[in-house]
Homo-oligomer: A and B are copies of this chain.
Amino acid sequence: MNTIERKNIEKENRRQDILDAAVTVMKSHGLHGLSIDLIAHETNLAKGTIYLYFKNKEEILSILTIRARTLLIKDFQKIEKNKESNIEQLKSILKSNYLFYKKNSLYYDLVSLYEVNNRMTETEEMQQSGEKIMKIVVGIAGRAREEGTLNPKISPVILAMSLWGMAVGMLQLIKVRGAIMKEKLNISEKDLLNSFIQLLENGVKK
């Protein structure tokens, strides 16, 4: 029984190794440049071996997306446990989202992959991870409303959705135009982010 457990752990480790390799490949070849061949090369495994651990190339992509979302969820959950006021928590979430992106920009590539390509349907698990993120934000917004700091006209669900959409949009903007903005307009990412948060705070408050 003990050996079975060990086997399972090793198997899981190997899965993670392959996923890590996939991330490495994506970092150097781009999301689109990911191929089973390259993953095999990166892991020093044979091509066929990859298929012992994953049914599909798509399964790898989908798990990677879930992984990214899970990491983000953890960041968000930490914020929820803060003793900050709910409105501050909302702001922290926006900041945390930004910091997460800076640490792991690949994540946004993965998110975009599923957003751009209609043909790639999300698995049940992926949808759940997406909904979990939203629930956290909805929860905080709801409590902020009860707290009295939030404009009561705005539904918490719609607010959460809007925040999420805007935040993702802002990060994409930073990613694509960040360098140019800095160079040509002398606008730092920080400035942009702070203004964005400030703007939302104003818009959201009672």
**Chain A residues proximal to chain B, CB less than 8 Å:** 30-33, 109, 112-119, 127, 130, 151, 153-155, 157-159, 161-162, 164-177, 180-181, 185, 187, 191-192, 195-196, 198-205
Contact = CB atoms under 8 A, between A and B. Distances in A.
Contact of A180 (B127, B153, B159): B127
B31 A117 contact: yes
Contact of A168 (B33, B172, B204): B172
Copies in the complex: 4
> Is chain A's binding surface mostly helix, strand, loop or mixed?
helix
A36 to B, nearest CB: 14
A192 B195 CA distance: 22
A3 B159 CA distance: 60
B162 A165 contact: no
B109 A155 contact: no
A82 to B, nearest CB: 23
Contact of A154 (B153, B162, B181, B195): B195
A167 to B, nearest CB: 7
A142 to B, nearest CB: 14
